[in-house]
Amino acid sequence: MSTTFGIIDKVTGNAVPIARRVGRSTGESKVTITSLGELSLFILRNMDKETKVVAMDNSAQGIHTIGDITHHPGFVEIDWDLIPTGFGVC
């Protein structure tokens, strides 16, 4: 199961994708969460860890804040193999 997480842009009201969760949480979990590029990583490192995130294309699966992402045991700062195309990421 995979989910893209974003933060809400206060100017436009749109969700901006910042991280992607990939994997299953059954048995021996192989879940990875990665930022969606350098700007996303900057946001994850520098915004308040209590900043709410939204699940954009699936359920939240226990991820509700930036801190939930960055403190997740499967968090990898940038895994280029897991970044989906179509988000404007090089």
DSSP single-letter state for residue 38: H
On whether residue 41 sits in a domain, the answer given is: yes
Total of domains in the chain? 1
pTM of the model: 0.82
Q: Which two tokens stand for residue 40?
A: 């996303």
Q: What was the pLDDT predicted at 62?
A: 92
Grade residue 27 by pLDDT with cuts at 50, 70 and 90. Answer: low
On whether residue 18 sits in a domain, the answer given is: yes
Q: What was the pLDDT predicted at 89?
A: 47
Mean pLDDT calculated for residue range 12-18: 96
Contact by Cβ (8 Å): 7, 51: yes
Q: What was the pLDDT predicted at 77?
A: 87
- Percent of the chain at pLDDT above 70? 81
On whether residue 86 sits in a domain, the answer given is: no
In DSSP terms, which residues pair with 43 in a beta bridge?
none
On whether residue 90 sits in a domain, the answer given is: no
Q: What span, in angstroms and rounded, lies between the C-alpha atoms of 23 and 45?
A: 23
On whether residue 10 sits in a domain, the answer given is: yes
On whether residue 14 sits in a domain, the answer given is: yes
On whether residue 29 sits in a domain, the answer given is: yes
On whether residue 76 sits in a domain, the answer given is: yes
Range of the structural domain that residue 43 is part of = 2-80
